[in-house]
Amino acid sequence: MQPSSHGAESSVSPEEIARFGALAEKWWDPSGPMRPLHAMNALRIDWACRHLPLQGQHSRRVRVLDIGCGAGLASEALAKAGHDVLGLDASPNGIQAGRAHLENNPLPDGSGPLAYRVGSAEELVTEQRKFDAVIALEIIEHVTDPEQFMAMLSDLVEPGGVVIVSTMNRTLKSLAVGKIGAEYLLRLLPVGTHTWRKFITPAELGRYARHANLSIQAIAGMVPSLSGWKESRNLDVNYIAAFRKL
């Protein structure tokens, strides 16, 4: 991978890329190892779409970069919502699975265009690519340097554009529920999916954003319920935040 303007070759470690790449073939199975993402995806996408710019700078479509897209669970949903989406992931297996799913399940009429690319955020920064919105869902807790990662997200969005990040808070509750419970007790996720000490508190995320010339616009918790995941004021475990580029 090409070096970035931030002095790193890749924001995600090869071990993390390999771990999620190994799950690519089962990514679209709602009962498989990615079932928590399937369960929360409707909430994530609805919340994100409510906080995107009303239209892109160059057209009525919002140009969205979905970083760490895996096999495209969020990318497809964003395209179905009418946006112009590029799904980016460092795992060739993930991108291959995303392309295969798109080929076998064409987007309905009225969807925006969707393309996939194998690569890193650093490569797009080097190419001076800019988007109306950059979305990073459940990825920042897996990167090598979250502050540098937020700076790259800022570099990739147009002035006045939006950066949306979802992640997990570093609390005792998230250790019990998001790590021990999800991986070891309920087996909702493969063991080793998360490292609790790499979870990001809202205060830390806010500080990284300010350093990256991003202003917070909204933040909400995401909690499971009997009827599916719902928006909440409770930020103890999962949360999502929107920032505007100054």
* DSSP string for residues in 96-141: HHHHHHHHHSPPPTTPPPEEEEE--HHHHHHTT--EEEEEEES-GG
Q: Is residue 1 part of a domain?
A: no
Q: What is the pLDDT of residue 184?
A: 65
Which token pair is 8? 């790193």
Q: Is 246 exposed, middle or buried (0-12, 13-18, 19+ CB in 10 A)?
A: exposed
Does the annotation list 68 as a binding residue?
Answer: yes
Inter-helix orientation angle 146-155/202-211, to 10°: 50
Looking at residue 222, what is its pLDDT?
Answer: 97
**Does residue 136 contact residue 153 with C-beta atoms inside 8 Å?**
yes
Q: What is the dihedral of CA 147, 148, 149, 152, to 10 degrees?
A: 130
Question: Is 236 part of any known ligand binding site?
Answer: no
What is the residue-wise DSSP string for 205-239?
Answer: HHHHHHHTTEEEEEEEEEE--TTS-EEES--SSEE
Domain-located, residue 2? no
Per the structure block, which two tokens stand in for 196? Answer: 């609790």
> Looking at the domain assignment, is residue 4 inside a domain?
no
- Asked, for residue 7, whether it belongs to a domain, the answer is no
pLDDT confidence of residue 10: 59
Return d(Cα 195, Cα 244) in angstroms, integer.
28
**Is the Cβ–Cβ distance between 66 and 86 less than 8 Å?**
yes
Predicted confidence at residue 1, as pLDDT, reads 30
Backbone angles phi, psi at 162, to 5 degrees: -120, 140
Annotate 165-203 with b (16+ C-beta within 10 A) or e (fewer).
bbbbbbbeebbebbbebbbeeeeebeeebbebeebbbbe
Amino acid making up residue 7: G
Determine, yes or no, domain membership for 19.
yes
Q: Is residue 138 part of a domain?
A: yes
Taking the mean position of all CA atoms in its chain, how far away is CA 225? 22
On whether 155 is known to bind a ligand per the annotation, the reply is no
Consecutive 10-residue averages of pLDDT for the chain (246 residues)? 40 80 91 91 97 81 96 98 96 96 97 97 96 97 95 97 97 88 66 85 98 98 93 97 98
Q: Tokens 């931030």 map to which residue?
A: 6
CATH number, domain at 179?
3.40.50.150
Structural domain range at position 142:
14-245
Residue 6 lies in a domain: no
**pLDDT for 19:** 81
Q: Is residue 179 part of a domain?
A: yes
C-alpha distances out from residue 58 to 65, 84, 131, 190, 241, Å: 15, 11, 10, 42, 25
Q: What's the pTM value of the predicted model, to 2 decimals?
A: 0.90
Tell me how many domains the chain contains.
Answer: 1
Both tokens of 51, joined, read: 């906080």
In the chain, what are the helix, strand and coil shares in percent, each to the nearest 5?
A: 40, 25, 40
Query: How confident is the model at residue 215, as a pLDDT?
Result: 98
Is 37 marked within a binding site?
A: no
